[in-house]
Amino acid sequence: MKEYKNGKYKVSIAKDGAIKVQQDDWISKYSAAIYNDFTKLDQFGRMINGNTFPTIIKSPDDIFAGETIYHVDDYWSQFKPATPRKKASPPAKRKLTPQEKQIIIETLKHDFNLKGENLKTVTKVIDVIGHTDNALALAEIAGLLEGAAFATVASAVNFIATIAFPVAAFGMLLNANEAGLRLYGLRAVAYTTTAWAFDKPIPSGSKRAMRNMRGKPAKDILKLEQAWSNTSRATINNLKKEAIKRKIKEVNLKLVYRALGNNNANQFCGLLMKELTSKLKSRIDIINWEGQLNYGYPE
């Protein structure tokens, strides 16, 4: 028997290519295990009417527990003389067709009980990735979102804001006596998270906010710069720790962020800033913060 495994997906295949179908198996899952691609359905077939070669199965769920189907490559390999294999070059990434996208959505929906905003977010992630060899990444992302009760895009972003927010490092800042420090630090969380998610340089501050500080004492400006630097660094550390804690690769966590902002950094930052309002305690802070929500990233 030959065992193929890719993340949560695995399949055992006999020397002649035979696969004994188990309960809840889908061909797309076998495809994910072997190729890291949910859509290679043309690699699986069944024997029909005494044929000596497999007939391709076209639907990912058109198999039945207990039946035997065949992985075409392994089936035909038994008739070929063994030859040394050359190291294959990675295939070029190919864009998804609408039909392939639907196969992926249905497979993930089935595996992770995705619905509502969770399903919409995963669908957006598929659009952001845009190519076929992504089964492991998508399974990881679907697993992250499965336990999150998303009713709306706002609640999804709130979940992401919670992951990004460096509670321990930012606690003292939130309790600081100076409102300017609190709001500037909060902006650092939003800008840093956005830059990290979209693989952009981390902003060293907000130019627009600093323009409003013209004429202020140098010591006040220095406090803001230090608040930004400390909070930005804490945010990056927190994001990395949360990725490890939630057992998701950083690159895949970034894909979730991008999807929530429709792959637009400015849009995602705006959503995140709006959700970070919940971190403020003072009504005056909230009013001042809401007055700044129309700042574009990274102003």
Say if CB 199 and CB 251 are below 8 A apart.
no
pLDDT digits (tens, 9 = 90+) for 71-86: 999 998 887 765 555 5
Residue 17's pLDDT band, with cuts at 50, 70 and 90, is very high
H/E stretch holding 132: none
Kindly list the strands in the beta sheet with 55-56, ordered across the sheet, starting from the edge strand earlier in the chain.
18-20, 68-71, 44-46, 55-56
| Mean pLDDT, range 205-227, rounded to an integer | 82
More reliable by pLDDT, 14 or 177? 14
Determine the pLDDT at residue 23: 93
What string of DSSP letters covers 92-103? Answer: PP-BPPHHHHHH
d(CA 208, CA 224): 13
More reliable by pLDDT, 108 or 208? 108
Decide: residue 20, CB within 10 A, 0-12 exposed, 13-18 middle, 19+ buried: middle
What pTM was estimated for this model as a whole?
Answer: 0.83
Place of tokens 């929500």: 293
The DSSP output letter for 2 is E
Dihedral-angle region of residue 295 (phi above 0 means left; psi in -120 to 50 means alpha; beta otherwise) = beta
Residue 145's pLDDT band, with cuts at 50, 70 and 90, is confident
Residue 167's pLDDT band, with cuts at 50, 70 and 90, is low
Decide: residue 172, CB within 10 A, 0-12 exposed, 13-18 middle, 19+ buried: exposed
Determine the pLDDT at residue 20: 96
pLDDT digits (tens, 9 = 90+) for 40-49: 999 999 998 8
| Mean pLDDT, range 91-99, rounded to an integer | 79
For the chain, what percent of residues have pLDDT higher than 90?
37
